[in-house]
Chains A and B, each alone.
Chain A
């Protein structure tokens, strides 16, 4: 029994964290809000260089062949820096889908590019009407009933949508089956979709942990500086308890998220339950952390001039993406209560 990351996993996380600290500072997130594509290809290339984009790509296809547990600390780092880009979609979801379910030729067409950073993939499962990052994607992995397709980007008709998080890019994507390659169908197709959904939910939960941790950290820094009544506002008990509540929520969500990644990586029988618990808790924690962060900032947090809103809005969006807390709680209730 060892429920902790290895030194290597943490070292890799720290290396990626340093890259984000340099290349994905709040100014970069602000740039992403205002730029037309909102995506920095050089940063993606740097991630590829480090092995991040190929982390989940099998070695046979030019990647590192690692699993969900290895990837998790990187996703949390991406959340901490509110990294704008399809890290969940391409690395956590699409690459394993292709590796596990696609015929060899299709896998070989896309996977080496994901590993070297030249291919960006995004995902649209049933129940996900808005596709993220379709404007920069090379391929969309999409579900239609029990069939999973790879749709090359040139065959997509995109209608942009506007998210409250200006760094997110959402689209409705239309396409014809004649222009798509079939990856899997029937039971295999549904299994592929289920696993993809679990991966997306668990990975998003890991990102939410990073967002929450950062909201707490910046708020702690702010309330230690800001003075009212001649003292730092962080010395008031009401402010302390807001932040203690947020810390409590995050602290008891984090291990559930680790467990979800472990369950996916090791095909644990209760994987659906473990993933839903993780996403439920991480979504709830992010909602609490974002509320408390804003309240403790006062009016400055209610502006777009201050950086806080990047984190608030990303948390709202991701708390709802891949199933919100209520949806996942109901799934756990079903798994626990409706059998035996």
Chain B
């Protein structure tokens, strides 16, 4: 057991820290609004220009070829410096691992560099009005058009995060309506500016237009936009969702930085005499939960670099980070007392209402990326081995 990083890793950290401290933008409006999204894309391009947007990718695709440890260090430094949400995350952290695993050389060369550079902005199209937790229940279908060399899509996707601002969507479509539920689906990448696509933004709980509905009406998708084999989409999709549950979507750096800000909030509130002493334990508990997630990640990554995958244990990870996030932000809002309900723009809002905003978003964590009820089923069945039926 050795909890020290190497000299090379430490110099990577120093380089990242120096660059981030000099460049991280503060007070960007939410990236889940039109205006904010555009400003976030400018920031993403700046990250890319300095080759920080996708550090773990090979250099030929726009990364730095960094190790998993360096990626974790970068994440820690990014959030420590107060870096904003990553509006490119669905591409860089969720689609890209799938392209690396299943994509053709041509697909890699076409999509990865544009993704790293924030030239293409990706959203995920899994959910449909009648298929949420039961993803295999999707109905959007793709019919073969041999003459044109591709597929004709019809149907509807929903809850598509930042769908109204992105230019590409990836997701599953039913290519064989007669096949069993988990077969007969194909993973496709669809340009949102194609004829027949209509996107309608939907306001989320926090008031941002962060959701969208995507309507597909005879949309043509050429064969080179199919990722993995035809009718093999379920297996390909599962690779993406396990990245989403695990480490790549939500690295510990984000929660450790939030926990440090909570401690700082406690100290500020104490100084002016408004910290409710009965919340001390909750502040400590939140800080410890973030630290526990960091330590669990160090253990997981130690296994990963030696070729031991965490498998279904990623479901435990998803439950843990989403619940710790709710506890942490709920504690912060309580600490604010009467000011807790004040939102962005209200004159007396503390930290410009950021805690209520974060609390609202944290409440979605137990829902997206597979609800925590579904994750508990997975833990029981695939980690503990309990009988399915």
Contacts and interface: CB of A to CB of B under 8 A. Distances in A.
Contacts of B299: 3-4, 254-255, 258
Interface stretch (B123-131, B169-177, B276-284): B276-284
B164 to A, nearest CB: 36
A83 interface: no
A247 B3 CA distance: 25
Contacts of A1: 2-6, 9, 69, 298, 302
A220 B385 contact: yes
Interface residues of B, number: 49
B220 interface: no
Nearest to B9: A1
A240 B381 contact: yes
Contacts of B263: 336-337
A255 B298 contact: yes
B291 interface: yes
A43 B346 CA distance: 69
B320 A252 contact: yes
B273 to A, nearest CB: 14
A126 interface: no
Contacts of A128: none
Contacts of B389: 231, 235
A25 interface: no
A241 B284 contact: no
B380 A243 contact: yes
Contacts of B266: 337
Contacts of A6: 1
Nearest to A340: B267
A332 B388 CA distance: 41
B165 interface: no
B292 interface: yes
Contact of A281 (B9, B288, B313, B376): B288
Contact of A280 (B288, B293, B313): B288
A252 B283 CA distance: 18
A244 interface: yes
A337 B306 CA distance: 38
Nearest to B264: A340
Contacts of A266: 3
A223 B385 CA distance: 11
**Candidate in B1, B385, B386 with the most chain A CB atoms within 10 angstroms:** B1
Interface in B257-310: 263, 266-267, 270, 280-281, 283-285, 287-289, 291-293, 295-296, 298-299, 301-303, 306
Interface of A: 1-6, 69, 216, 220, 223-224, 231-232, 234-235, 237, 239-241, 243-245, 247-248, 251-256, 258-259, 262, 266, 277, 280-281, 326, 329-330, 332-333, 336-337, 340
22 contacts: A1-B298, A1-B302, A2-B302, A220-B385, A232-B387, A234-B386, A235-B389, A240-B376, A240-B381, A243-B380, A251-B320, A253-B292, A254-B296, A255-B298, A258-B295, A259-B295, A329-B285, A330-B281, A332-B287, A336-B263, A336-B287, A337-B267
Given A5-B1, A255-B298, 8 more contacts: A216-B384, A232-B387, A240-B376, A243-B380, A254-B299, A266-B3, A281-B288, A336-B283
The 6 closest A-B pairs by CB, nearest first: A240-B380, A333-B284, A255-B295, A244-B376, A244-B379, A3-B298
